Structure 1
Amino acid sequence: MTVRTCYFGGLNSSFDPADDADVFGVVRYPQDFVERLTDRNVPAVAPPEELLNAFKTVEEAAENNGDPNPAAIAWDSVRYESRYLAHLERAGPKLVLEELRGRALERDVWLICWEKDARWCHRRLLANAVVAKLEEVDVVHHPDPSTIPLDVEEPDEKTSPDASLADFARGDDD
């Protein structure tokens, strides 16, 4: 069996769950179409509202600043991974994890949310938590994160790691 992750935009258009798979939305704020694409939404394992809001605030600021990978900046800045994993230790999410583990032993389970790139998404962490105690269950992300290019700018010579604070204070352009 396999726990698969995907984003709503890729579901059914690029990645299509088998008829016997369980497909769960794992979002805090579902839209109407979520009910049509999933068996049900499970907000107990969605990111807590305060974490989601912090992430979105930093991500938007990074976008406005023109940073090349706003999601990565937000992920690190708000300590997303450790905070989300702490959320999964709470009573309600722990019960859901146990249910997901039981289902994953019987059939494929899909975890669906908004983010295309699983590197900066809670569903990657959730899938890993589901299979952590299940040796015979694999995790597959759709799309595979290794196939999604990072928007990384080449370092500017003026801001190279070798530049000193004195260089910036002088305003050297050489």
Structure 2
Amino acid sequence: MTVHTTYFGGVSQFEPADDAEVIGVVRYPKDFVERVTDRNVPALAPPANLLDAYKTVEASAEADGAAFPSDVAWQTVRFEPRYLNYLRSFPGPQAVIEELRERASERDIWLVCWEKDCRWCHRRLLTKEIVAELADVEIVHHPDPTTLDVGRNESDEESSPNAALADFSTPEA
């Protein structure tokens, strides 16, 4: 079985199989979310204070011309440890993760949110939590992060294209 991750625009592009379960994991869903997912589970989204802090720092970094605004925000707000602490500290997310572990051992599941690049997305962390205790379950990110131009935008032609996910992960203690 496989746990896939993608963003809402990727659902139609990467086409989950008919028997796969497509789960939104966003705090603030738009109306179309229920049309492109089987359900949305806000309990697995980042807590509002973390998400708001991330977006505020990302916008400021972008306005300041930072090469990698998402990475600046990710590091500044300590997104990874804070999100993992949230998942591990509350019974709601823990119960849903346990349910998703059971489902992932039986069929493919897709986790979907707003962020295209999984390097700066809670889906990557959530997926690792789901499969941590499972054997023979693969993780596939759509799009593959090694195919994305990291931090590249129209005004930044000197960014390093195709950086690997490992280039942006924090060493685990």
> Above 0.5 in TM-score?
yes
Matches within 5 A, 1:23-102: 23-89=22-88, 90-102=90-102
The one-character-per-residue Cα deviations of 1:17-67 (angstroms, maximum 9, x if unpaired) are 001001000000000000000000000110000000000010000011011
Paired positions, count: 154
Task: Tell me, yes or no, if structure 1 residue 124 matches structure 2 residue 110.
Answer: no
Match of 2:149?
149
Identical counterparts, % of pairs = 62
- The alignment partner of 1:72 has SS state of helix
**Which deviates the most, 145-154 or 19-28?**
145-154
- The 1-side partners of 2:138 and 2:9 are apart by 23
Runs of at least 4 residues off by over 4 Å:
152-155
- Write the letter of the residue equivalent to 1:75: W
Give the equivalent residue in structure 1 for 2:140: 140
Q: Distance in 1 between matches of 2:151 and 2:15?
A: 28
**For 1:10, what is the secondary structure of its paired residue?**
helix
Counterpart amino acid of residue 50 in structure 2: L
C-alpha distance in 1 between matches for 2:93 and 2:4: 19
Unaligned runs of 5+ in 2: 160-173
Distance 1:9 1:129 in 2: 24
Find the residue that maps to 1:68 and give its secondary structure: coil
Q: CA deviation at 1:151?
A: 3.0
Q: Which amino acid aligns with 1:118?
A: C
Structure 2 residue identity aligned to 1:79: R
Distance 1:7 1:82 in 2: 22
Match of 1:24, SS? strand
What TM-score, normalized by structure 1, do the two folds share? 0.86
Q: What is the distance in 1 between the residues matched to 2:86 and 2:144?
A: 25
1:114 aligns with 2:114: yes
